[in-house]
C-alpha cells in the first residue's frame, strides 16, 4: 500500500458531492410542493369569497323580487 492510496479520499469527495446534489434536489422538491400547495390554497380562498359574494347578491335579488 502506498502513501498515495492511504490518503486518497476521492471516493469520499464523490459521495459528499452526490449527497449535496441530492439535498439540493430535495429542497427544490419541497419548495415546489409548498409553492403549489400555497397557490392552491389562495385560489380556493378566492373561489370561496366569490361564491359567498354571489350568494349574498342572489339573496338580495330574491328579497327585492319578493318585496315588489
Note the pLDDT of residue 17. Answer: 93
3-state secondary structure of 1: coil
Q: What is the pLDDT of residues 3-56, one digit of tens each?
A: 566 767 778 888 999 999 999 999 999 999 999 999 999 999 999 999 999 999
pLDDT for 3 equals 57
| pLDDT at residue number 10 | 76
pTM over 0.85, yes/no: no
Residue 32 and residue 38: Cα distance in Å, rounded?
10
Amino acid at each position: 500500500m502506498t502513501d498515495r492510496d492511504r490518503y486518497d479520499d476521492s471516493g469520499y469527495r464523490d459521495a459528499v458531492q452526490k449527497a449535496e446534489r441530492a439535498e439540493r434536489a430535495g429542497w427544490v422538491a419541497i419548495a415546489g410542493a409548498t409553492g403549489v400547495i400555497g397557490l392552491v390554497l389562495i385560489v380556493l380562498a378566492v373561489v370561496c369569497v366569490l361564491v359567498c359574494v354571489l350568494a349574498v347578491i342572489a339573496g338580495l335579488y330574491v328579497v327585492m323580487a319578493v318585496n315588489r
